[in-house]
Structure 1
Amino acid sequence: MFETATIKPTERGLLYRRGSYAGVLLPGTKRLNRLRRETAVACRVDEPFLPPDGPLAVYLQDARLAEQLEVVEVGDGEYAAHRIDGRFERLLLPGLHAFWKAGGQHGFQRIDTREPDVSAALEPELADRIGPYASTLEVESGERGFLFYDHELQRELGPGRYRFWRGPVKASIQKVDLRRQQLELHGQEMMTADKVTLRLNFVSTYRVSDPRRTLEIRSLSEHLHASLQLILRDIVAARTLDRLLAARDEAASEALERLRAVGAASGVEFLGTGIKDVILPGEMRDILNTVLLAEKKAQANLITRREETASTRSLLNTAKLMEDNETLYRLKEMEMLERLVERMDRITLDAGSPVLEQLARLAGGAGRR
């Protein structure tokens, strides 16, 4: 007719009679009447109180049970940080929650999720324990972040990791890269002042100097690219092809000055520019190659004429010296004789005429033979 149920000191019991809750059981041995179909359910005091059937509010109508429990109600748009003996235990979602008082000293910190910043409510070391209830956003080194709540700017953020509650207010971060970047223009067709169509490859380097100002521009890269196109068209259109090819640095310097004016209004500082390539149409390249070839031929002819003039002048100076110097004349005779000997087996000279004249006749005869 009776059976016993033992409730440990680390437990509390729930008495059921004919399947309905009938009261709370404290630690000890209890007699259960089988005729009344009494049963007992043991609950650990270090775990939340979760009724096996029915809503929690019905059980709390029992005053004796309510005395054994620490009850907290978390409203909509709220979380609650549950601490036991000062240590963080869990995060409570909206709803009614109950915990056994015997399980320790309970504390509850209410968190308004309309303030999305997790760090405003919890210590940083607890951030990894809030699981799916918060989102994590990061700002990398070399970047600047701007925090928005429901698309409304709140503040500027430095590099780091930030967590925000998943609640009624959506948090987002817009990042701006502060590192040096390149702005390039490839194969852009332009026309010079003398109506020559060419393609230009241009490169420039820049960095963001005022990140907040760049937020006013929908797409910074597109804005800078379009500005560079317009500036280069103006610069090329104001120059002839010859001037552009002869003074690339001048065109690049002018482009840099004008880009800096555009960058100052956009929160960007341009550091340098340069023309990488000037690509001409095939016909224009052929014309330039022809002109270049003609110029080189003219230079070669001029050098040849200069050498011939120098050679003639040298011969004239030599003749004058030989006319005035008998010894030099004789040396010249010996030099010519040496050359003739290299070409002939035997030479016969007549003492009645000058040696040079005879050698000249011999040289001429040898050439005819």
Structure 2
Amino acid sequence: IALYYANGIFKEVLLTGRYAFWKGYAQNEFVKADLSKVYITEQIPLALLDNVKLRTYIRRFNVASYEKGLLLVNGTFVKEVTAGAYYFWSNAVAVEIKTIDTRQQQLEISGQELLTKDKAGLRINFFVSYQITNIYKALVNNKDFEKQLYVLMQLALRAFVGNLTLDELLNRKDTIAKEILENVEAKIINLGLIVSDAGIRDVILPGDMKEIMNQVLVAEKKAQANSIMRREETASTRSLLNTAKLMEENEMLWKLKEMEYVEKIADRIGEITISGGGNVINQLKDIFLK
């Protein structure tokens, strides 16, 4: 084809044939383009490549700002491309740009029914945050890398949980993800990925197991409460014993303690009614005047 310009303005695309133009009427310019090539090497302004008259002869690929791509010509990898618009001549040669999202993504591995070492059945919801670092490995060396990551983490989780008892699993719930990732790190790198975070979101016990765990928890709390009560009772008895020893050795301390209790009794009595020979008054005098 030839791109026809008149006075520097693009007019039309000329196909194979013979064309005649008046001399001197306008400044005519022509840019010939070889459509059998893949790459556009001719000096054609970028804005013109999207012109409706030229669009029929051009293939355009867009790579978003958060993507990277692989340029394949006739199925052969040529190079890695970054964000932008890419133009090629439209012909029989197969040209493709495979794009992939390079942002951090999250994979959910939910509802995994597993057996612990002590044969306790449970369901686990697991998540993995990953990012693509090598798009050639992810797109060319591996097929469905996300499915492979899912199966890889699923098997690693199953194997790891199978080697722990239920109590060990619950105690190490926050560190299990790190240990699992260390075991499969090399395989994840072979997928062209890097995992930045992973963890157990939920550990779901069956109804009967949950009831048993609640009973165990209640029993443990009761035992702790009984232990604390016994400890407090022992401390209180020891304190009373020490006080009794001091009072036995010091008559004045005994008298002060006696007066303290009389004062407490007096606070709770509104009035005193005496019947008989007044022995109560004499007894009170005896208490306060000794």
TM-score range relative to shorter protein? 0.7 to 0.9
Match for 1:118 among 25, 37, 40? 40
1:304-319 to structure 2, matched below 5 A, reads: 304-319=229-244
- 1:231 aligns with 156
After superposition, the C-alpha distances for 1:192-249 in whole angstroms (9 at most, x for unaligned) are 1111111111122221121111122121111111111011111101111100110123
Query: What is the DSSP-based 3-state SS (H/G/I as helix, E as strand, rest coil) of the residue aligned with 2:236?
Result: helix
Query: What is the DSSP-based 3-state SS (H/G/I as helix, E as strand, rest coil) of the residue aligned with 1:141?
Result: coil
Corresponding letter in the other structure for 1:345:
I
- 2:203 aligns with 278
1:80-95 to structure 2, matched below 5 A, reads: 80-84=2-6, 87-93=9-15, 95=16
Pair 1:141-2:65 in alignment: yes
After superposition, the C-alpha distances for 1:150-183 in whole angstroms (9 at most, x for unaligned) are 4332222111011233322232210122221222
Q: Percentage identity across aligned positions?
A: 40
Q: 1:86 to 1:350 in 2, by over 3 A?
A: closer
Alpha-carbon RMSD: 2.3
CA distance in 2, matches of 1:154, 1:113: 20
CA distance in 2, matches of 1:346, 1:227: 90
1:206-355 to structure 2, matched below 5 A, reads: 206-215=130-139, 216-341=141-266, 342-343=268-269, 345-346=272-273, 348=280, 355=287
After superposition, the C-alpha distances for 1:291-340 in whole angstroms (9 at most, x for unaligned) are 00000011111111111111111111111111111111111221222233
* Distance apart, 1:136 and its partner CA: 2.3
Query: What is the DSSP-based 3-state SS (H/G/I as helix, E as strand, rest coil) of the residue aligned with 1:306?
Result: helix
- 2:79 aligns with 155
What TM-score, normalized to structure 2? 0.86
Higher RCO (C-alpha under 8 Å, 6+ residues apart):
2
* Distance apart, 1:84 and its partner CA: 3.7
> In the alignment, is the contact (CA less than 8 A) between 1:140 and 1:160 conserved in 2?
yes
CA distance in 1, matches of 2:281, 2:9: 131
CA distance in 1, matches of 2:164, 2:56: 63
Pair 1:184-2:105 in alignment: no
- Work out the number of aligned pairs and report it: 275
Corresponding letter in the other structure for 1:293:
V
After superposition, the C-alpha distances for 1:30-65 in whole angstroms (9 at most, x for unaligned) are xxxxxxxxxxxxxxxxxxxxxxxxxxxxxxxxxxxx
- 1:100 aligns with 21
Query: What is the DSSP-based 3-state SS (H/G/I as helix, E as strand, rest coil) of the residue aligned with 2:20?
Result: strand
> In the alignment, is the contact (CA less than 8 A) between 2:124 and 2:204 conserved in 1?
yes
Q: 1:97 to 1:345 in 2, by over 3 A?
A: farther
* Distance apart, 1:142 and its partner CA: 2.5
Query: What is the DSSP-based 3-state SS (H/G/I as helix, E as strand, rest coil) of the residue aligned with 2:175?
Result: helix
Query: What is the DSSP-based 3-state SS (H/G/I as helix, E as strand, rest coil) of the residue aligned with 1:101?
Result: coil
What TM-score, normalized to structure 1? 0.68
Corresponding letter in the other structure for 1:178:
T
Corresponding letter in the other structure for 1:324:
E
Q: 1:288 to 1:119 in 2, by over 3 A?
A: farther
- 1:25 aligns with none
Match for 2:88 among 164, 170, 175? 164
CA distance in 2, matches of 1:188, 1:140: 35
* Distance apart, 1:131 and its partner CA: 3.0
Unaligned runs of 5+ in 1: 1-78, 357-369
Corresponding letter in the other structure for 2:2:
A
Q: 1:258 to 1:295 in 2, by over 3 A?
A: same
Query: What is the DSSP-based 3-state SS (H/G/I as helix, E as strand, rest coil) of the residue aligned with 1:270?
Result: strand
CA distance in 1, matches of 2:238, 2:273: 34
